[in-house]
Every structure is written in C-alpha cells, then in structure tokens.
Structure 1
Amino acid sequence: MARPKIPRTICGQAANICFKPNGIPMTQLEQVPLAEDEIEAMRLVDLLGMQQQEAAKSMGISRQTLANLVKAARYKVVDSLINGKALMTKVSTEK
C-alpha cells in the first residue's frame, strides 16, 4: 500500500494546460504530464528565486521533497523542449 501524499500548499497555477510544438497535431505528439506541485516548486525556486528551504516551508513539505519535485519538473520541461513533446499540466480537482 502506497504512503498517503502529504497535502501541499499551491498558490500559483500554469497559464495554460498544454504547451506543444507549433505545427504538429496533438495526436502525433507524446504527452509529458507536469503535476501542480512540480509547477509550484519550479515557480518558487526558479521564477521567484527562493531558497529551497524557504520554498519547502511555503509548500508545507520537506526540503528533500521539494528538491525531488524541482528535479523531476526540470527533467520533464527539458525533455519536452529538446524532444518536441507536449507538456501537459495536470489540474487537480481536490480542494
């Protein structure tokens, strides 16, 4: 049985649900899902320039969890950009 996910504080959200290469139909693209908490981690660390400890506290998670989220998110973004994949944001329905 998987360990339950700790609730995370998410203040920002992506401007769009999908980012994809121009001129290629979605049906021909591999889709890479980017979770809300991954977007928030990148927003805090990369866009706002917060230290990881401060960003982790803001999200209500450990610094190591935040570092794992940032690493996973950056990999997905670079994979999408370099390999021409569609980057899909997963919108949570939980509140």
Structure 2
Amino acid sequence: MSPRPRKPRNCACPHRPPDGWVFKPAGTPLRDLEKIYLEHDEFDALHLCDGEGLTQEEAGERLGVSRGTVQRLVAGGRKKLIEALTEGRALIIAADEDKD
C-alpha cells in the first residue's frame, strides 16, 4: 500500500529564497559537510509560527493544511535546525529538485 499523494501547500513566505540558501559553519567547504535539507513548507511553517507568532491553526489556514500538519512541519523543521547548529552540518533551504 503506497502513501497518499502529498497535498499541495500554499507556501508563500516572503523570505523564501528563489534559488535556495545554504547555512554552514564558517571555514569548512560545503563538500566536506553533511547536508540537512529544510523543506520549503517546513521553512514557511517555522516562519509563520515562530517568526510571525501565529498559532498553528492560523498558520494552517494560511498554508491550506490542517493544524496537525503544521505541528508536524514545525517539529520537523525545528529538529533539523537544531541538528544543523549543534552538530555543525550544512542547512540547505532549497526546492526538492535541488537535492543531491
């Protein structure tokens, strides 16, 4: 049994980079670092909930998804951010097609 198709989301964060962003420890080449990919919908959920201070319900309305989905996006995004910062990995905010 295959999973349900992914529901389209209204990702419209004004800070979304057109070609992606890379955040990495200074002085280490990107090729030498493990990469962590932050999805655009996770980035938008974090921006709405943590950046703009919206509730998960309000963020869900803006993204066109349920509150539970926003909760999963925020939890996953926070985990990736903390992992990149504490373990010195490269954090890449890019479109799905940009992944290696």
Q: Is the 8 A contact 1:14 1:39 kept in 2?
A: no
TM-score by length of 1: 0.91
**Structure 1 runs of 4+ with >3 Å offset:** none
- Deviations along 1:34-79, one digit per CA (max 9) or x if unpaired, are 0000000000000000011000011000000000000000000000
Gaps of 5+ in 1: none
- SS class of match (1:18): strand
Gaps of 5+ in 2: none
- Deviations along 1:20-47, one digit per CA (max 9) or x if unpaired, are 0000011110000000000000000000
Where does residue 90 of structure 2 map in the other structure? 86
Where does residue 81 of structure 2 map in the other structure? 77
Where does residue 64 of structure 2 map in the other structure? 60
TM-score by length of 2: 0.87
Q: RMSD across aligned C-alpha pairs, in angstroms?
A: 1.4
Please, which of 44, 69, 80 is the counterpart of residue 40 of structure 1? 44
26 and 89 in structure 1: CA distance in 2 versus 1, 3 angstrom threshold: same
- SS class of match (2:6): coil
Identity %: 35
